[in-house]
Amino acid sequence: MSNDRQLNLKTILIASGVVLTLAMGVRHGFGFWMQPISQANGWTRETYSLALALQNLLWGAFGPFAGMVADRYGTMRVVIAGAISYMVGLLWMATVTNPTLFVAGSGIFIGLGLACTAFGAVSGIIGRAAPVEKRSWAFGVSGAASSFGQFLMMPIEQQLISTIGWQQAFYALAGVVFLLMIPMSTFLREPKHEVAAGGAHQSIGAAMREAIGNRSFLLLVAGYFVCGFQLVFIGAHLPAYLKDKGIVTPGVAVMALALIGLFNIFGSFTAGQLGGRMPKRYLLSSIYFARSVVIGLFLLAPLSQWSVYLFAAAIGFLWLATVPLTNGIIAGVFGLKHMSMLAGVVFLSHQVGSFLGVWLGGYLFDKLGSYDVVWGVTLGLGVFAGLANLPIDERPLVRSAPNLQAA
């Protein structure tokens, strides 16, 4: 690998790391606003939960299109558009009091902003910049950056809410997102070398049909659905769950979410490292099975401050460790030309799961008065995803001539 390509990969990893740190860090803290916004506007938890659910659903729905544009016209343009949309969404959440408009507007603007600034949009440029032997590692580094964002932003967001109020906290974050993401996006330019493998002459339609007809791709989709359900349910509802159970000190929830982010830095990086040496499908299965074990132990153990911290550390290590492995399988099987688009399709499934996880948590709490049923569903889905990932075939596809259509 040439020095120019090395420099390009480092630059892309740093710039995308800052973008992911902000995009994912801000988003992971939205659970802190559930109670103050609901109380200020006289809403039930279901209203705010529905807004977060729609954000996640539209994040996934916009993802394939954001990836398609990034693959075709460059990641920089997509990230700039995403930063603007993200900023508008935060301002919307700070000012709109009509529940229908709040849900719809925040869902659209935040969903589009995340689709253009998170994993799917930047995965293609990272995959194309990294050589094969470093690709899994590079995806792990980007996953660690998003985890660092969660660790960094959790205390900041809680402190902003406590000191300047929940509305002003949104204003402050909108300014940070806008002022930092756009300068960083200028470094997200495609490497100058040509992509030599993996469907370099394949059309968008052919790539999509090929993926949808591939059993391993569908198994990845099924597993990512579970990942989204688990993560967003826990991230959005854990603070409220702890308060309901008598742990009312806000610092415990803040520390728990920060620990999830901290330990996920190590988990994502470790997964990226191991993904270059071991079958990724076995690692993915192990992660999903381990999540179910961790959730089960958390529910069975006596609840205390320290049990919360142990749960957060354990689930944090497994939190986004699926991302470098899933993206690595997509790149290895289908190639790099349409990678952002295909990663976006898989991520759509993740976000459908996220939608159901966050909304079902609020809905069933309002109906039943507890989160017990949703915790049980979350545990069972982990077992399902662990089984679903085992038969994935990681071998690169051998394409026939009819599939190599001109773009």
pLDDT tens, position by position, 370-394: 899 999 999 999 999 999 999 999 9
What is the pLDDT at residue 338? Answer: 81
**CA-CA distances (angstroms) from residue 68 to 219, 226, 269, 296, 364?**
22, 24, 27, 39, 36
What is the pLDDT at residue 367? Answer: 87
Under the banding of pLDDT at 50, 70 and 90, the label for residue 261 is confident
Spatial separation of the C-alpha atoms in residues 37 and 97, rounded to whole Å: 9
Q: Kindly state the DSSP code that residue 303 receives in the 8-state scheme.
A: P
pLDDT tens, position by position, 10-65: 888 888 888 988 998 888 788 788 889 988 988 887 788 888 888 878 988 898 88
Cβ(221)–Cβ(345) under 8 Å?
yes
Residue appearing with tokens 């690169």: 396
User: What is the DSSP annotation of 147-159?
Assistant: HHHHHHHHHHHHH
What is the pLDDT at residue 2? Answer: 46
Packing angle, helices 215-244 and 204-212, rounded to 10: 80
CATH superfamily placement of domain 3-191+202-397: MFS general substrate transporter like domains (1.20.1250.20)
What is the pLDDT at residue 336? Answer: 77
CA 365 to chain CA mean position, Å: 24
> How many CB atoms within 10 Å of residue 302?
6
Which helix (DSSP H) or strand (DSSP E) does residue 110 occupy? helix 99-117
Spatial separation of the C-alpha atoms in residues 180 and 105, rounded to whole Å: 23
**CA-CA distances (angstroms) from residue 103 to 12, 52, 229?**
34, 8, 19
pLDDT tens, position by position, 267-296: 888 988 898 888 999 999 999 999 999 999
Mean pLDDT of the chain: 85
Q: What's the average model confidence in pLDDT over 246-256?
A: 83
pLDDT tens, position by position, 194-212: 433 444 567 888 888 899 9
What is the pLDDT at residue 75? Answer: 87
Domain ranges in the chain are: 3-191+202-397
Record the tokens describing residue 190, joined without a space.
């495609």
